[in-house]
Chain A
């Protein structure tokens, strides 16, 4: 385990940024967000960024291929796929877990090369939480906010940041910073972890239990009458899906610039009425079906296809951002017998 005193943290950032693109969470008037480190910013202490960290590997829009139309010929232009190495600093346990959930979709056969490429070029430096919010419920899905995963795991105390490399990629990066960091034992980290775990137990959503849901429960939940009432308030916007770190649906569209056609993909939302629209029309014609889809996917379908792992990481963004405060916790309470 390595440590660096807080006052030298910016030196460390500068060092990383000199070799890779470094992204750190920065406070803005509109909440914390990841920004490319340019030597001027200081790291945010906010619990989490407004948008999730999935953008690094699965950006909202991404060009796939261009077609150049010249007279009556069409030339196909493959996109350039060389991404620079980059480092994400300060991802929380929930967001780090979301990468694993996305990996299971994008890296499974057929592999999504765009995602894979970004994933291989990115180093995730996670940050343990110390002050989780009332909307946090990562524990429900077995995530330990005090001990996140990641290539390097950090703990920030009052005066220092502690680093623990968990992967080869992480070890390599950490080693390159040895000149700035010093070796240390884990006493301070252990103390903080223990303290955080006490806090986690007292969170209002600490008792939220997902065990009623999980793999192979489709028939148990699909036709439950409660979907009708809880979906009533849903406006059908895409806020929950777009702030969600694990939502992975996208649409592929063509944009004709007049000179060429750009084929790109962009996030889509199962809450939208034209989601998965096909020649015959839509699959899910009412908002109740669309609403059910989203939560069934997180709580039942995803676990069914992924050894019981839930498709939610309990980051609480949807709770904070839903225009009408309808969210997965309310769904779990209503359908899963949670009180």
Chain B
């Protein structure tokens, strides 16, 4: 999205309820800034995130999608994030194979104690996606404003 001639990416962040969403809350508690372009969707576990949601976000105009979950081994549901890790490794590799910029998707493990990591991750991700510019390769022209 262009705001006053400046490109502002739209970032969808899926955060698991138990670790990463709490990590994002902690970033808030500690007043650690990150760009408002990041919009968080709460899911019970990172393994709830269907590849269809990610594609949907790109279709509707997202420029980057990031998935945050508990660190491997710390999943509230014991193994959910292990499945996330395999699913997303394969999906992201496929997107890369189709020529979609690999910096547009990311998985990051953020614990409930890692408010600083959450903010830093978001800052970094927004910066990388901003550098890429608008999502052209997975856009749906019908959804353009």
A and B touch in the complex (CB under 8 A): yes
Contacts of B61 in A (CB 8 A): 258
Contacts of A257 in B (CB 8 A): 60, 140, 142-143
Q: Does A259 contact B (CB under 8 A)?
A: yes
> Shortest distance in angstroms between B56's beta carbon and chain A's nearest beta carbon?
11
**Chain B minimum-CB-distance residue to A255:** B142
Q: Does B86 contact A (CB under 8 A)?
A: no
Give Cα A116 to B143, complex, Å.
29
Q: Does A51 contact B (CB under 8 A)?
A: no
**Chain A minimum-CB-distance residue to B143:** A257
Q: Does A262 contact B (CB under 8 A)?
A: yes
> Shortest distance in angstroms between A238's beta carbon and chain B's nearest beta carbon?
22
Which residue, A255, A258, A262, has most C-beta atoms of chain B within 10 A? Answer: A258
Give Cα A262 to B143, complex, Å.
10
- Digitize A252-279: 1 where CB-to-B-CB distance is under 8 Å, 0 elsewhere: 0001011100100000000000000000
Say whether chain A's binding surface is mostly helix, strand, loop, or mixed. loop
Contacts of B60 in A (CB 8 A): 257-258
Interface size on A, residues (CB 8 A): 5
> Shortest distance in angstroms between A264's beta carbon and chain B's nearest beta carbon?
9
- Digitize A236-258: 1 where CB-to-B-CB distance is under 8 Å, 0 elsewhere: 00000000000000000001011
Name the interface residues of A317-335: CB closer than 8 Å to any CB of B.
none
Which residue, B61, B142, B143, B145, has most C-beta atoms of chain A within 10 A? Answer: B142
Give Cα A258 to B143, complex, Å.
7
**Chain B minimum-CB-distance residue to A259:** B145
Name the interface residues of B86-141: CB closer than 8 Å to any CB of A.
140
Contacts of A255 in B (CB 8 A): 142
- Digitize A158-178: 1 where CB-to-B-CB distance is under 8 Å, 0 elsewhere: 000000000000000000000
Give Cα A257 to B61, complex, Å.
10
Contacts of B143 in A (CB 8 A): 257-259
> Shortest distance in angstroms between B88's beta carbon and chain A's nearest beta carbon?
25
> Shortest distance in angstroms between B141's beta carbon and chain A's nearest beta carbon?
10
Contacts of B145 in A (CB 8 A): 259
Give Cα A186 to B135, complex, Å.
58
> Shortest distance in angstroms between A258's beta carbon and chain B's nearest beta carbon?
6
**Chain B minimum-CB-distance residue to A264:** B142
Name the interface residues of B52-76: CB closer than 8 Å to any CB of A.
60-61
Give Cα A218 to B80, complex, Å.
58
Give Cα A258 to B61, complex, Å.
10
Contacts of A259 in B (CB 8 A): 143, 145
> Shortest distance in angstroms between B53's beta carbon and chain A's nearest beta carbon?
15
- Can you list 11 A-B pairs, Cβ within 8 angstroms, ordered by A? A255-B142, A257-B60, A257-B140, A257-B142, A257-B143, A258-B60, A258-B61, A258-B143, A259-B143, A259-B145, A262-B142
Q: List the 9 closest pairs (A to B, CB-CB), nearest first.
A: A257-B143, A257-B142, A262-B142, A258-B60, A259-B145, A258-B143, A255-B142, A259-B143, A257-B140
Other A-B pairs, 9, CB within 8 Å; known A255-B142, A257-B143: A257-B60, A257-B140, A257-B142, A258-B60, A258-B61, A258-B143, A259-B143, A259-B145, A262-B142
